[in-house]
Structure formats: structure tokens, C-alpha cells
A and B are shown apart, each in its own frame.
Chain A
């Protein structure tokens, strides 16, 4: 699914990543750990296709439409409602039976009642749950999640656990986290970054 060889990334004069080799097989679950500033976010952004490496190569067998990315930002518009946000992404990702799928996801993540409220009024946990809905909306083959548990409340974390358990093996995961123990049950491999 995903292979990198001697991947490196430099921003101007600052080198953020150096010589990364990773392999994510189809259906695998790779956990990326490391201290802050080690380049986890940069690595995940490159793997999701948001950035280009300055050295090395990356091969990804999933097209843009099959990648789901969860970053530090929820990537939802705060002045729109949850429904409107998901409608937009659903349309852009050409999700079949959009309405039903959106409804199903919102319910599963406990946002159905708040679906007509603007995201600006949501709590941090709710926003992160909406971001998860956005990621799962188009049923991506490759899920790149950057510290997905960090902004979640306990209820949301349990929901995420359930989702990971359900999709583990069917989809490929690249997850970075500060709490490797949490994702240990799902992991098939690990990569530790250092500064």
C-alpha cells in the first residue's frame, strides 16, 4: 500500500525528516511514535499526499480519493453546520448515497442532534468527532491519522476504538500517537522517529 525509501524533507534550511524507510502493507496498521518535533506530522502529511518529499521516494497505491487524513486541524468550516460540512465533502468525494451515509456517521458518533448547529459552537471533543466523520465518509482505503486521540473526550475515544476494531484488516492505517498503548491491540508494525 505504502512504501517510502530514504524519505527526507527539508523546509528551507531546516531538515525535518531524514532517511525514513517504511512499509505499510495492505491491511496493515503502522504506529508512528516520537517526541514533539521529530517530524511525525510532516511524515504523515507526505504519506497523505499533502506535501512532497525533498529527498527519497514514496510509493502509494491509493489514489487521492481513497485516502483519508486526520490532522491536527479538524479541516471543517466553523461557520457551517456539521451537516453542511459533510455534504460538501461528500459531494467532493463523490460519496454514493450521501445522505444516508452522513446520517449514519453522525449518529454513530453522537452528533446527530447537533447536526444543524454551527461547528463553532461545538466542544473540542465534538469537533474532533466530526473530523472523524469527515475522514470516514468516503470509506478510504488508506487512513492517515495524526494523533487522533489527542482531542477526543472519553466517549469519543471509545467510539474511535470501536471504529478501528471494525476496520482493522480491511483498510490500511498509518497512525501517529503519543500513547502507543492505546493502539497496541491494533498495531501490526511500529516506527519510532527521533529528532
Chain B
């Protein structure tokens, strides 16, 4: 139970920080809207439902990347990583709390992005919503983990997309597949499998990312 409490305390801290700073979430919202406009101008002809669904996921992925890049900034800039590492809590709680907070921001961004998408392009079905929810988990779990890794390196912001995108391929396949195919079951299953596998790996190995 203390684990849950630790995660809660840390997640609360992350949410508070963002509420005070108010920079990441507005940036994500603006970014996703701008990206949609770019898509409109970037696609000659009238794009079909298939094509715009793909674009929706590209937009979500890169908006998420934007948010993920900022996830560990307070810990990095103020060196508070040390403070968290010194604490007797399980190190994986740091990752879980940060993932949950990032998940909250991503969902908040999508609450704006999906209606915008429906407005600009095509309507969004139930399968797509399910895919969004499942994909979010994978994106946040893996992305937060990699964000913590990237923060320690010299290249930092440069490195996160490079590390993240190959790992995000299955998410894209699962998400797009679920959104366009008549029977999305297999794709949602792929997403769920991805989430489960990688969440376990992240949870088990975060200890090694923060310990020196």
C-alpha cells in the first residue's frame, strides 16, 4: 500500500508542477491544432478516411513526444532527481507516477484533438476511442521511461524521438489498424499486449536507469 501512496504523492507533485508552470499542456494543444492545419495543406486532393486516420495518429504521436520531452525537465534542471533517488521508495514508483501524470496531460490534449479532428476531417468511431485509450498507456509508459534515459545523456531532447519512434511502430500499427479495419479486435489485442509487455519491462528495469 505504501507503493500506491508513493505513486500518489509523486503523481500529485507532477500534476501540481504542470498546473503551476502551465507550459506543456497549452503547447501540446496548440501543436496538435497547428499540425492538423499543416496536414490539410500537405495533402493534395481530398484525403479519404483511411488517410486522415493515419494522420490523426501521426499527430497524436508527435504531440505526445512534445509532452514527453518535457516530462523530466524539473528533475533535470533542478537536480531533484537526486532527491527522489535518495528516498526509500521503490524507484519504479517514480516512473509510474510520471507516466500517470503524462497520461493525464495526453488525455487532456486528446480531448481537444479528437473533436478538432472530427471537425476538420472525419468523424471518430468507437474503435478509434478504444485504440486511443490503449495506445496512450503504451505511449506514456515507454515514452516516460525513455524520457528518463534521455535526460541523463548529453543529447537529451535530440535523443528522445530517436529512441521512441522505433518502439512506437507497433503502437501505430495497432492504433491505425483498429481505426480503419472492420473487426478491430486483433489490433486492440496487439495494443493491449504491447502495453502489458512493455509496462512490465519498464517497471522492472527503471531501477537501473536512475541508479548510478
Report which A residues bind B (CB closer than 8 A). Answer: 48-52, 63-65, 67, 69, 71, 73, 75-80, 84, 87-89, 91-94, 118, 134
Contacts and interface: CB of A to CB of B under 8 A. Distances in A.
B47 interface: no
Given A73-B79, A94-B2, A67 B86 contact: yes
Contacts of A84: 13, 16
Nearest to A71: B82
Given A50-B86, A64-B87, A79-B17, 12 more contacts: A64-B86, A64-B88, A71-B82, A75-B80, A75-B82, A77-B80, A79-B20, A80-B17, A88-B12, A91-B6, A92-B9, A92-B10
B88 A93 contact: yes
Given A75-B80, A92-B89, A80 B16 contact: yes
A64 B84 CA distance: 11
A49 B211 CA distance: 9
The 3 closest A-B pairs by CB, nearest first: A75-B83, A65-B88, A92-B87
A84 B78 CA distance: 16
B17 A51 contact: no
B148 to A, nearest CB: 16
27 contacts: A48-B86, A49-B86, A52-B212, A64-B87, A64-B88, A65-B88, A67-B86, A75-B78, A75-B82, A76-B78, A77-B13, A77-B74, A79-B17, A80-B16, A80-B17, A84-B16, A87-B9, A88-B10, A89-B83, A91-B5, A91-B6, A92-B10, A92-B88, A93-B87, A93-B88, A118-B20, A134-B83
Contacts of B21: 79
Nearest to A72: B79
Interface residues of B, number: 25
Contacts of A76: 78, 80, 83
B3 to A, nearest CB: 11
B85 interface: yes
A77 B78 contact: yes
Nearest to B75: A77
Nearest to A131: B83
Contact of B212 (A50, A71, A88, A89): A50
Interface in B65-116: 74, 78-80, 82-89
A56 to B, nearest CB: 16
A75 B6 contact: no
A92 B2 CA distance: 9
A67 B87 CA distance: 9
Interface in B8-44: 9-10, 12-13, 16-17, 20-21
Contacts of B212: 50-52
Contacts of A65: 87-88
Most buried by A among B12, B84, B88, B211: B88
Contact of A88 (B13, B20, B79, B86): B13
